[in-house]
């Protein structure tokens, strides 16, 4: 069983329009509504890959009830979300079908009390012994301490459970210091963490700061990995056009599923890149085009070298 943590869950709403123009009215051609937040997207992709997944985090209000109702339709997914008094946020993605661009609007999320955060920590610690890996994903809702992920990383390490951290800013900086097994920032998040805009140097610096392994997203150019076993670059065979929302979450699902399957690093990166690219072709985050994934996974170019730790 894999555990994904989404402290700031969401109801993702995707609007499709012909062309986005400021200061005008738009006719929406299609609307999709799904449970969202990075960890829930990761969980849905993991479930589609055939892994059993437990999801936890915070949920509340009418929006939270909708999220939980929709999660029940996902085979292989167990709901262990913790209720809070405040309402779960909504995120709005507006997809311009002419240009392929997506505009994202993210609400802040509910304010979590100290008592609710304490309840969550207890629930999380109870779940860990039965898990093979855990992913800590996304932003922190108001009220949750900025060092929350550092706390959750340490609890996972104490339980002997491999932990992947995918966040940004100060929560990432503090979380890295707690020594997660893997972090997956994008290039901008990594530069903010390390102060370096050269990705290879920045990945190595992030390892020195505490991460055992670092996989950096380079957008449509693939992934760069620095690990105790070696350094690799994984590049998709072609650039696909579509909705990139959730592509990074699919990469996390690929890395995490391959970790629990004990695949070598080049195969982990191939899976992550292929899933990320196939997600661009899907209508909403948390889904991927399976035919495209199966066609792409064997064509991802992985170059690099095995090194000492």
pLDDT tens digit string along 5-38? 999 999 999 899 999 999 999 999 999 899 999 9
- The number of angstroms, rounded, from the C-alpha of 125 to the middle of its chain's C-alpha atoms is 21
Q: pLDDT band for position 219 (50/70/90)? A: confident
What pLDDT is stored for residue 99 in this prediction? 86
What kind and span of H or E run contains 157? helix 148-158
d(CA 296, CA 285): 19
What kind and span of H or E run contains 168? none
What pLDDT is stored for residue 282 in this prediction? 80
Name the range with the highest mean pLDDT among 15-24, 167-176, 191-200: 167-176
d(CA 113, CA 144): 8
Task: Count the Cβ atoms, other than its own, within 10 Å of residue 71.
Answer: 20
Are 292 and 247 spatial neighbours (Cβ–Cβ below 8 Å)?
no
- Does 143 score more than 70 pLDDT? yes
Mean pLDDT of the chain: 93
Q: pLDDT band for position 132 (50/70/90)? A: very high
- Can you give the pTM of this predicted structure? 0.92
What kind and span of H or E run contains 185? none
Backbone angles phi, psi at 227, to 5 degrees: -135, 170
pLDDT in tens, 47-70: 999 999 999 999 999 999 999 999
d(CA 164, CA 213): 9
Q: What is the mean pLDDT of residues 145-164?
A: 98
Lowest mean pLDDT among 15-29, 104-118, 240-254, 261-275: 240-254
Q: pLDDT band for position 309 (50/70/90)? A: very low
What pLDDT is stored for residue 194 in this prediction? 95
Active site amino acids: 249
- Does 285 score more than 80 pLDDT? no
d(CA 8, CA 183): 18
Q: What are the Cα distances from residue 147, in Å, to 65, 117, 177, 195, 267? A: 28, 12, 10, 20, 33
Q: CA angle, 260 as apex, 169 and 9 as ends, to 5°?
A: 40
Q: What is the mean pLDDT of residues 192-214?
A: 94
What kind and span of H or E run contains 81? none
- Does 250 score more than 60 pLDDT? yes
Length of the chain: 309
Q: What is the mean pLDDT of residues 290-309?
A: 86
What pLDDT is stored for residue 308 in this prediction? 54
d(CA 283, CA 302): 28
């Amino acid at each position: 069983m894999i555990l994904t943590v989404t402290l700031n869950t969401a109801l993702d709403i995707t609007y499709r329009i012909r062309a986005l123009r400021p200061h005008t009215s738009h006719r929406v051609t299609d609307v999709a509504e799904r449970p969202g937040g990075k960890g829930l997207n990761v969980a849905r992709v993991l479930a589609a890959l055939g892994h059993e997944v437990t999801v936890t985090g915070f949920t509340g209000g009418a929006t939270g009830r909708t999220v939980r109702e929709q999660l029940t339709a996902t085979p292989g997914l167990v709901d262990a979300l913790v209720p809070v008094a405040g309402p779960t946020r909504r995120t709005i993605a507006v997809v311009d079908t002419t240009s392929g661009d997506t505009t994202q609007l993210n609400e802040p999320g509910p304010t979590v009390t100290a008592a609710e955060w304490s309840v969550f920590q207890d629930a999380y610690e109870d779940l860990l012994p039965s898990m093979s890996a855990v992913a800590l994903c996304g932003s922190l809702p108001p009220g949750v301490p900025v060092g929350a992920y550092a706390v959750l990383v340490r609890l996972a390490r104490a339980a002997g459970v491999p932990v992947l951290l995918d966040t940004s800013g100060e929560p990432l900086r503090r979380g890295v210091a707690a020594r997660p097994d893997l972090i997956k920032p994008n290039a901008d998040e990594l530069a903010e963490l390390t102060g370096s805009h050269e990705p290879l140097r920045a990945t190595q610096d992030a390892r020195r700061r505490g991460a055992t392994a670092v996989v950096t997203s380079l957008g449509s150019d693939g992934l760069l990995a620095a690990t105790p076993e070696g350094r690799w670059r994984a590049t998709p065979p072609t650039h696909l056009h579509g909705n990139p929302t959730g592509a990074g979450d699919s990469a996390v699902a690929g890395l995490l599923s391959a970790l629990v399957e004990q695949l070598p690093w080049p195969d982990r990166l191939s899976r992550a890149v292929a899933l990320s690219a196939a997600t661009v072709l899907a209508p909403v985050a948390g889904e991927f085009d399976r035919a495209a994934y199966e066609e792409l996974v064997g064509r991802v170019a992985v170059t690099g070298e095995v090194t000492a730790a």
